[in-house]
Structure 1
Amino acid sequence: MSRVLRRIAFFACAGVVLLTGCSSSSATPLDGVTESHDDGDGSDGVGSAGAGGAEPGGAGGAEPGGAPDVDGAPDAACDTLSAELQGALDAAVEAQRLPGAAAAVAIGGCSWLGAAGVADAEADVAIQPGDLFRAGSITKSFVATLALMLRAEGLLSLEDSVSTYVDGIPRGEQISVRQILNHTSGIFNYTGMDEFWTAALEDPTHTWTPAELIELAASKPPYFEPGQGFAYSNTNYIIAGLLVEAASGEPIGELLRTRVLEPAGLAHSYLDGAEAALPGLVHGYGRSRGELVEMTSALHASAAGAAGALVSTSSDLARFYRKLLDGTLLGPDELAEMTTWVDTPPGQVNGYGLGLSRRESPLGVQHGHDGGIWGFTSSSYYAIDSDASITVLVNLEGADVGRVVDDLSRVLATP
């Protein structure tokens, strides 16, 4: 397993998430995002169709069955769309030889949850739409949301230097909070370092402190002067976690739960390593010589921390992004800051904001995030013009989730 782990470098070199390639000057993130309709009744507005199933045991009740008649949409039209989406997901799992995938889609009056493949390859247990996955870099959208909430309350300024809040950050007096959140700080990515992987593989159970990860990154020269480029760095969001803790006076796990998870009704999400785990996490895998390799808990969650330790479901992520981008969680000023884009190298996205990325799709411009972490990849986006959200979670490292998102987007774009 160590050879597989070293090859993928989980959220550093997944290759199909946020940015293409993996070099010393730009690294790919952990993970993805999307939104779903809120029916105003405490549900997330995403019904399960095709694959059916319940949320994980102990995490809540079963999802509603069938494609619901939302906002007057004809049942027959939603049923037809659900069948086409399930067919596209089945085909994607087969084409990429994925262990399994779960997806959430909402457009207009129709919403759908689907799943294909297995949650446990050895036991041949089928994935259910409500199963839990590691979400990887989707965590960054949550942490950026916390930072912007604190900004709205006057507890944090995007233009302040990092050293205003946190000591011990290399060049902290020169780097702004904004530059941390949009990856223009120039700080080296710790997951792109041999030293990190050597230590992680020697002791996979090691509990990493943010200070340890930052110290590793500080041992390498910066990619560029602050504000003079873009380089995706997981170190930025390890620092972002410390920033929101310092500005709020609360641990990030408690802050995330009280400020985002509970208010948004995300009952099936948690920050791994910072709070108690929920049951229902599917098995995650890598590939070695064509064979699946178990990687569900290959490293301690603290190795990802505020950069990627979130665990969630497709419906919870859909609900989060809907509430984020419709102004429920953030006000217009904060959303404007979050969607102020900086240029990114050529790849799957064409702009990065504050914990949010922008990409083109068959449905037009989509906002969201991608992710890849040990054993898992994910992608979740919301198409502004068509009011369509798509989330795809896969229990295989390095899966081309962007391709699956586009496959589902084409189904929605077809008249």
Structure 2
Amino acid sequence: MKKILTTSIRTLVAACLLCGATAHAAGSSEQGQLQRTVDAAIRPAMKASNVPGMAVAVTVGGKHYFFNYGVTAKQGGKNVTENTIFEIGSISKTFTATLASYAQARGSLSLSDKASKYLPALAGSSFDTISLLDLGTYSAGGLPLQFPEAVTNPDKMVAYFKSWRPDYAPGTHRRYSNPSIGLFGYLVARSMGQPFDDLMEKTLFPALGLKHTYIRVPQARMADYAYGYKDDKPTRVSPGVLDSEAYGVKTTAADMVRFVEANMNGAGLDDTLQRAIAGTHTGYFKVGEMTQGLGWEMYDYPTQLDSILAGSSSQVVFEANKVARLDPPRSAKADVLVNKTGSTNGFGAYVVYIPAQKIGIVMLANKNFPVAARIKAAYQILMALDGKLAAAGAR
């Protein structure tokens, strides 16, 4: 599909490529219209929600531009850069999904396997009829958004899952759930015979070329780890059951935009990893106009802003929704808009990309500001970069 950019942005991008410049938020003359476009979307969103700092990365045709705002901490913080480490919350689920797809590509598991196969303690429970794919797409039958407060360790986790009974037949309803995809990642790691954290930090992240992405931020990088803010108080994510699998990744804008590129064009990656990434873009069912992939959420391209907002609404996030299954599942394709939101108590993040147009945006903030505001800001930038979205948004 032909790439369509507005004339002003196309001219700016060409100029930046010739000079080899990387865009930053300090206001250099090289940024031109692209800087003004990002500023116009990001600065009002930050002001409205009193966000202390944000790192934004934009990729256009394989070239990366970074726009950095505010500080890493209100007291004694540094200026945000593309190398500042942020918590990305549920965007972590896309990494868990990639690891699962990688495990399938190398023959360690099949997504059609029943969950109890990899955790014998669940034999005889509801998980004898629930597949790994059901867990990875939140369609196991109604697992809740969070564990009950009493579930505080692995033994209590297993006891909870053994006693849990689904409200719906597996594969018929989607209910967004940290326990669901958390168990999914936990079982994937068991199938591969290594701890989940090690598989991420020693296998997946290096294979993707991500040098500043962590489950456990090393002491040597703690100075670059931003503080999040809730009720104007600094905070970072607390340990929890299956936290690594569901919301535990910490990373930078520079690494996340590289991950976006790997998802749009993984030509430089190992063949098995390329197939694994493509597998996460398979569509399994629809809820409204949103197509559920493995970790990622997708929309037919071009799409209107209201459709994306509806797919991330409280009704979709907090309630069980009947699904329209795609039979067979829809293979990965380029003409989609792919996105995922993520939050912890103190951080808010958003990633969106359009493979056919080779454009994508990463937004990392040290405050959990409204999801709708993130989506609107990113969509505003995308419309400036992409004439087709501008046309869709006008309808």
TM range (shorter): 0.7 to 0.9
Q: Which of 311, 319, 338 in structure 1 is aligned with 2:258?
A: 319
What are the superposed Cα offsets for residues 43-80 of structure 1, whole Å, 9 maximum, x if unpaired? xx99342249xxxxxxxxxxxxx7xxxxxxxx96x643
Q: Please, which moves more after superposition, 224-233 or 332-341?
A: 332-341
Aligned residue in 2 for 1:152 = 105
Aligned residue in 1 for 2:38 = 85
SS of residue in 2 equivalent to 1:91: helix
The aligned length equals: 330
Aligned residue in 1 for 2:200 = 256
1:203-222 maps to which residues of 2 (within 5 A)?
Answer: 208-213=152-157, 215-216=159-160, 221-222=165-166
Q: 1:335 & 1:309 partners in 2: Cα distance?
A: 20
Q: Which of 257, 279, 286 in structure 1 is aligned with 2:230?
A: 286
1:299-338 maps to which residues of 2 (within 5 A)?
Answer: 299-300=238-239, 304-327=243-266, 328=269, 330=272, 334-335=276-277, 337-338=279-280
Q: 1:305 & 1:336 partners in 2: Cα distance?
A: 23
SS of residue in 1 equivalent to 2:298: strand
What are the superposed Cα offsets for residues 341-397 of structure 1, whole Å, 9 maximum, x if unpaired? 244545xx7121111111445698421321111211111011123210101111112
Q: 2:50 & 2:136 partners in 1: Cα distance?
A: 35
Aligned residue in 2 for 1:376 = 347
8 Å CA contact 1:190–1:216 kept in 2: the answer is no
8 Å CA contact 1:159–1:177 kept in 2: the answer is yes
8 Å CA contact 1:182–1:354 kept in 2: the answer is yes
Q: 1:271 & 1:119 partners in 2: Cα distance?
A: 19
SS of residue in 2 equivalent to 1:393: strand
Aligned residue in 1 for 2:282 = 340
Say if 2:347 is the partner of 1:405. Answer: no
8 Å CA contact 2:336–2:354 kept in 1: the answer is yes
Q: Which has the higher helix share?
A: 2
SS of residue in 2 equivalent to 1:114: strand
Aligned residue in 2 for 1:9 = none
What are the superposed Cα offsets for residues 202-254 of structure 1, whole Å, 9 maximum, x if unpaired? xxxxxx54443454466554231211211111112221222222111111122
SS of residue in 1 equivalent to 2:180: helix
Q: What is the CA-CA distance between 1:302 and the residue it aligns to?
A: 5.0
Say if 2:366 is the partner of 1:395. Answer: yes
What are the superposed Cα offsets for residues 296-318 of structure 1, whole Å, 9 maximum, x if unpaired? 24x22556221110000112111
SS of residue in 2 equivalent to 1:82: helix
1:13-412 maps to which residues of 2 (within 5 A)?
Answer: 47-51=22-26, 79-108=32-61, 110-123=63-76, 125-169=78-122, 170-189=125-144, 191=146, 195-196=148-149, 208-213=152-157, 215-216=159-160, 221-272=165-216, 278-279=221-222, 280-287=224-231, 292-297=232-237, 299-300=238-239, 304-327=243-266, 328=269, 330=272, 334-335=276-277, 337-343=279-285, 345-346=287-288, 350-359=290-299, 360=303, 365-400=336-371, 401-412=374-385
Q: 2:21 & 2:292 partners in 1: Cα distance?
A: 27
Q: 1:277 & 1:222 partners in 2: Cα distance?
A: 44
Aligned residue in 1 for 2:319 = none
AA at the equivalent of 1:149:
Y
AA at the equivalent of 1:326:
N
Q: 2:376 & 2:117 partners in 1: Cα distance?
A: 42
Q: 2:153 & 2:189 partners in 1: Cα distance?
A: 14
TM-score, normalised by the number of residues in structure 2: 0.74
Q: 1:211 & 1:46 partners in 2: Cα distance?
A: 53
Taking only aligned residues, the RMSD between alpha carbons, in angstroms, comes to 3.1
8 Å CA contact 1:105–1:111 kept in 2: the answer is yes
Q: Which has the higher contact order (CA 8 A, sep 6+)?
A: 1
AA at the equivalent of 1:188:
L
Q: What is the CA-CA distance between 1:263 and the residue it aligns to?
A: 2.0
Q: 1:119 & 1:356 partners in 2: Cα distance?
A: 28
Q: What is the CA-CA distance between 1:110 and the residue it aligns to?
A: 4.7
What are the superposed Cα offsets for residues 85-125 of structure 1, whole Å, 9 maximum, x if unpaired? 23432232123332221111011365311122232123464
Q: 1:309 & 1:343 partners in 2: Cα distance?
A: 26
AA at the equivalent of 2:247:
G
SS of residue in 1 equivalent to 2:88: strand
8 Å CA contact 1:380–1:390 kept in 2: the answer is yes
Q: 2:161 & 2:377 partners in 1: Cα distance?
A: 33
Q: 1:103 & 1:50 partners in 2: Cα distance?
A: 9
Q: 1:254 & 1:48 partners in 2: Cα distance?
A: 34
SS of residue in 1 equivalent to 2:174: coil
SS of residue in 2 equivalent to 1:155: coil
User: CA 1:265 to 1:338, structure 2 compared with 1: closer, same or farther past 3 Å?
Assistant: closer
AA at the equivalent of 1:396:
K
Q: 1:366 & 1:211 partners in 2: Cα distance?
A: 40
Q: 2:357 & 2:229 partners in 1: Cα distance?
A: 34
Q: What is the CA-CA distance between 1:130 and the residue it aligns to?
A: 2.0
Q: 1:365 & 1:312 partners in 2: Cα distance?
A: 25
User: Structure 2 stretches of 5 or more lacking a match?
Assistant: 1-19, 309-334, 391-395
SS of residue in 2 equivalent to 1:122: coil
AA at the equivalent of 2:295:
G
Q: Please, which moves more after superposition, 82-91 or 236-245?
A: 82-91
User: Structure 1 stretches of 5 or more lacking a match?
Assistant: 1-44, 53-65, 67-74, 201-207
8 Å CA contact 2:68–2:82 kept in 1: the answer is yes
Q: What is the CA-CA distance between 1:398 and the residue it aligns to?
A: 3.9
